[in-house]
């Protein structure tokens, strides 16, 4: 669908009208629409699985666990808690306003634009949309053109569940995204790469639009000499090569204590052989498109490959690949890898570890494997990152009680569960002054200045 600017302008006008009407509707109506959405997704489960497989051969198990499971959890959480979260919150009034009652009201921003990526094309599109719609906003969802089959099923679901003025999927490529970003939104939620995130931020700054940017970065994974090697190898291989490494929170490189580096490398290799059949790789996702395939396979030139490295252009296949200590100036290390290539480095002191990790921007995630509480505490206190895990990888994403988001170049804002409610609502403070008493001290003429000075001494 090639959207024209006039079309989106008319859509936004209709959303304004919908918001004026919707402001009078109850939270119960929004909960009903969430239940309808959940039922519709359940009806189309197999269609979703097949669409994502057509886009880049993601195994059914990964679709169930990393796409549908996360979406159902978010829907269930909002259905259960939206009434409670939406109630105005009473706060203590200021003394100077006596007598009064003060409350914080949670109101929708208004018209929300959600721009989604291709790597988890269903979940990363619909999860923020759920939060926005639940909070009373209207939504325009722009899914990735690189996952066209998933975009089609998203459009089908939205057309069946929502009125167009409430929530609409608009498909298209870069030109469509450009037109959308040129409009004035009340809130923008973007998930994608750091370079594109900068472009989005610059564009919406023209309207001073509040926003969330879910980006990425070079996520370090530290393996201390006290780590349980067998468990660490399994959990790292799972987190890194899930979705063929096309995960914003995947470990981007390993930092292994030099005392156990050789042993740990061997365990990584044996684990990968156990996980994936080299003859078929049935449980292994392919790269999303030709350009990404060519970029990643191009990285492999002049690297010391210690395992993997096989590729096939016919299916955009790149095997899980381990590389030893690539030069930090190599293209592989200049940006987030976002693929199944795992660089391995060693360190001999904490200073070396700190120098390496601090040479990059603040990452979206950090992982540390250690049985030493003192070591893990030191790591968490030393480095700044969006979110982390001790003795596993990427699992913080699935806990809806934890806000998910980056810091610095890896992102702005967060979401998931209650954090999504806080993101997609604006806190509107209301002071209700009572009329049964009116203390005259604030009114001119200011004859009581000395009395107020005495009162002010209480705060000095």
The model's confidence at residue 359, banded by pLDDT at 50, 70 and 90, is: very high
pLDDT of residue 385: 97
Task: Assess contact for 433 and 100: CB atoms under 8 A.
Answer: yes
- Mean pLDDT to the nearest integer, 83-108: 93
387-445 pLDDT, tens digit per residue, is 999 999 999 999 999 999 999 999 999 999 999 999 999 999 999 999 999 888 788 88
Structure token digits, residue 154: 């998203």
The 8-class DSSP code of residue 205 comes to: G
What is the bridge-based pairing of β-strands 100-108 and 425-433?
antiparallel
Alpha helix stretches (DSSP H) within 340-417? 350-358, 373-382
Catalytic member of 182, 214, 355, 381: 214
Structure token digits, residue 413: 């804002």
- Over 60: is that where the pLDDT of 2 sits? no
Tell me the percentage of the chain whose pLDDT exceeds 90: 86
Query: Are 5-215+411-427 and 220-404 equal in CATH topology?
Result: no
229-257 pLDDT, tens digit per residue, is 999 999 999 999 999 999 999 999 999 99
Check whether domain 5-215+411-427 has CATH 3.40.50.800, yes or no = no
pLDDT of residue 279: 64
Structure token digits, residue 178: 């450009």
Q: What is the DSSP string of 397-458?
A: GG-TTS-EE--GGGEE-EESTHHHHHHSEEEEEEEEE-SS---GGGSSS-TTHHHHHHHHTT
pLDDT of residue 24: 55
pLDDT of residue 7: 83
214 is catalytic: yes
Cα separations (Å) of 259 from 224, 225, 255? 9, 7, 12
- Over 70: is that where the pLDDT of 1 sits? no
Q: Of 66 and 9, which is predicted with more confidence?
A: 66
Please give the Cα distance from 387 to 107 (Å, whole number): 28
Candidate from 20-29, 78-87, 218-227, 294-303 with smallest mean pLDDT: 20-29
Locate the domains of the chain by residue range: 5-215+411-427, 220-404
Structure token digits, residue 300: 């492999």
- Over 80: is that where the pLDDT of 25 sits? no
Structure token digits, residue 33: 């629409």
Architecture of domain 220-404: 3-Layer(aba) Sandwich (3.40)
Place of tokens 């370079």: 195
Task: Name residues whose C-beta falls within 8 Å of residue 366's C-beta, 6 or more positions apart in sequence.
Answer: 219, 220, 221, 222, 357, 379, 383, 385, 388
pLDDT of residue 459: 76
184-202 pLDDT, tens digit per residue, is 999 999 999 999 999 999 9
Task: Name residues whose C-beta falls within 8 Å of residue 38's C-beta, 6 or more positions apart in sequence.
Answer: 72, 75, 76, 79
Question: Which of these, 366, 367, 352, lies nearest to 408 by C-alpha position?
Answer: 366
Question: Which of these, 262, 233, 256, lies nearest to 346 by C-alpha position?
Answer: 256
The model's confidence at residue 208, banded by pLDDT at 50, 70 and 90, is: very high
- Over 90: is that where the pLDDT of 14 sits? no
Helix pair 27-43, 45-56: axis angle to 10 deg: 60
The model's confidence at residue 16, banded by pLDDT at 50, 70 and 90, is: confident
pLDDT of residue 444: 87
């Amino acid at each position: 669908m090639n959207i024209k600017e006039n079309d989106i302008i008319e859509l936004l006008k209709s959303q304004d009208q919908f918001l004026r009407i919707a402001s009078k509707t109850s939270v119960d109506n929004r909960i009903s629409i969430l239940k309808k959405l959940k039922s519709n997704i359940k009806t189309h489960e197999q269609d979703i699985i097949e669409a994502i497989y057509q886009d880049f051969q993601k195994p059914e198990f990964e679709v169930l666990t990393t796409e549908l499971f996360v979406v159902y959890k978010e829907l269930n959480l909002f259905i259960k808690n939206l009434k409670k979260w939406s109630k105005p919150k009473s706060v203590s009034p200021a003394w100077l306003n006596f007598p009064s009652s003060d409350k914080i009201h949670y109101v929708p921003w208004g018209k929300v634009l959600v721009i989604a990526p291709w790597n988890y094309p269903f979940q990363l599109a619909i999860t923020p949309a759920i939060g926005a719609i639940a909070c009373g906003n209207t939504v325009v969802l722009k899914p990735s053109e690189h996952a066209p089959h998933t975009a089609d099923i998203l459009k089908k679901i939205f057309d069946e569940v929502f009125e167009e003025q409430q929530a609409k999927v608009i498909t298209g490529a870069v030109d469509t995204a450009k037109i959308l970003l040129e409009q004035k939104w009340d809130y923008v939620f973007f998930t994608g790469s750091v370079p594109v995130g900068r472009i989005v931020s610059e564009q919406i700054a023209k309207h001073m639009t509040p926003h969330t940017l879910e980006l990425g970065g070079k996520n370090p994974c530290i393996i201390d000499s006290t780590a349980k090697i067998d468990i660490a190898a399994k959990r790292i291989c799972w987190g890194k090569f899930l979705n063929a490494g096309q995960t914003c929170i995947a470990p981007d490189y390993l930092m292994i204590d030099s005392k156990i580096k050789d042993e740990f490398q061997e365990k990584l290799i044996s684990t990968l052989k156990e996980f994936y059949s080299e003859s078929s790789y049935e449980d292994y996702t392919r790269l999303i498109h030709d350009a990404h395939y060519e970029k990643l396979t191009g990285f492999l030139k002049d690297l010391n490959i210690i395992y993997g490295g096989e590729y096939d252009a016919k299916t955009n296949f790149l095997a899980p690949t381990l590389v030893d200590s690539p030069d930090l100036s190599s293209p592989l290390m200049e940006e987030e890898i976002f693929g199944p290539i795992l660089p391995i480095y060693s360190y001999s002191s904490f200073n070396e570890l700190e120098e390496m990790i601090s040479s990059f921007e603040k990452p979206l995630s950090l992982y540390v494997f250690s049985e030493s509480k003192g070591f893990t505490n030191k790591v968490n206190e030393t480095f700044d990152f969006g979110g982390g895990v001790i003795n596993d990888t990427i699992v913080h994403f699935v806990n809806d009680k934890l806000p998910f988001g980056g810091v610095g170049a890896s992102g702005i804002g967060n979401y998931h569960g209650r954090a999504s409610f806080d993101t997609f609502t604006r806190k509107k403070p209301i002071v209700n002054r009572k009329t049964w008493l009116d203390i005259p001290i604030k009114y001119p003429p200011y004859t009581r200045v000395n009395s107020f000075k005495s009162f002010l001494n209480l705060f000095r």
